Amino acid sequence: MLRCGPAEMDRLVAAGLPHEDRSGVRHFDPNDLYNLGMYSNTSTTQPELAFRMLFRFATRPVDDLLRERTWEFQARLECVDCAGEAPWRLEEPDIVRFGGSVTDVTAPAPASGSATYTATVTTTGARTPVLSAELRRLTGEYLAAGYRWHMIPVPMQVDYALVHELGVTSCIAASLLLAARFRDAGYRAEARRGWFCGVVGGALDLPHACVEVEDDDGRLRTIDIAKALLAARLSASTDDFQELCLGSIYNKVIPSTAAGGAPLGYHECGSRTPVHVRADIRSVR
Ligand SMILES: [Zn+2]
């Protein structure tokens, strides 16, 4: 992941990279390694290469993000501490209100351990920039605050105040904080989770979230705050995409019915360990 040899790993450990020794083998937290690589400025680490590839689209003309696209959507639900056969519930793709559709749904039957949900999802885009000057001011203020985007475990992201106190942010934490600021300013707003499409082979399980807010004209707008922040960091030539993130809809995002801080899937077996949901979303055309 870091393209480091043993000598470089020794130096990183000596400099404070957290690890655990288990029977003489060093174990690292994948989030730590990811963030270290992402901000290493070596241009060779796996996170830097993955993000550059992932955000290549953001430098292209945005018209391609506004057309209709169809995806084979698959979500694998895993109940790691399963207590037996029971029904599953997935916070499903919620795209119809944004002009898309969900067809050929195969919802999982009651089972134990793991299950799969599949559907064909069509997304589209629309230029619907945020109108409210106040919403734009609050969004601009957040983007200018200099929070560093980090890969953070979802349960920690939910504690968005703690995350921001550390000077960092993430998709879910950013959306929860911005939604709270919008509400403080008198707007109806909430963070919502979803999926970011086109993540090659599911190599990067990037939790996606954005803010849904009722604008001055009474219409719902989405603000993809983390993608705007990441695009600005990754390339200077992403102004059009960054503007698209502020109210418009684009075809690489599938919103779900899950609230910002909530899980994407449940298993009613009684286990207290959260269900792990991993999506694999492939472009059809
Ligand atoms: Zn279970």
Name, in order, each residue with C-beta under 8 angstroms of 195's C-beta and a sequence gap of 6 or more.
73, 93, 208, 253, 254, 256, 279, 281
Ligand 1 centroid distance, CA of 111 (Å): 8
Ligand 1 centroid distance, CA of 255 (Å): 25
Model confidence, pTM: 0.92
Tens-of-pLDDT digits for all 285 residues of the chain?
Answer: 999 999 999 999 999 999 999 999 999 999 999 999 999 999 999 989 888 888 888 888 999 999 999 999 999 999 999 999 999 999 999 999 999 999 999 999 999 999 999 999 999 999 999 999 999 999 999 999 999 999 998 889 999 999 999 999 999 999 999 999 999 999 999 999 999 987 654 445 677 899 999 999 999 999 999 999 999 888 778 999 999 999 999 999 999 999 998 999 999 999 999 999 999 999 996
Nearest to 32 by CA among 10, 13, 55, 54: 13
Name the 3-class secondary structure at 200.
helix
Ligand 1 centroid distance, CA of 225 (Å): 34
Nearest to 267 by CA among 124, 117, 134, 144: 117
Domains for the chain: give ranges and CATH numbers: 6-54 (no CATH), 65-285 (3.10.620)
Phi and psi based region of residue 44 (left: phi greater than 0; alpha: psi -120 to 50; beta: remaining): alpha
Ligand 1 centroid distance, CA of 148 (Å): 36
Place of tokens 């734009």: 136
The amino acid that residue 247 corresponds to is: G
Ligand 1 centroid distance, CA of 78 (Å): 8
Cβ-based burial of 233 (10 A; exposed 0-12, middle 13-18, buried ≥19):
middle
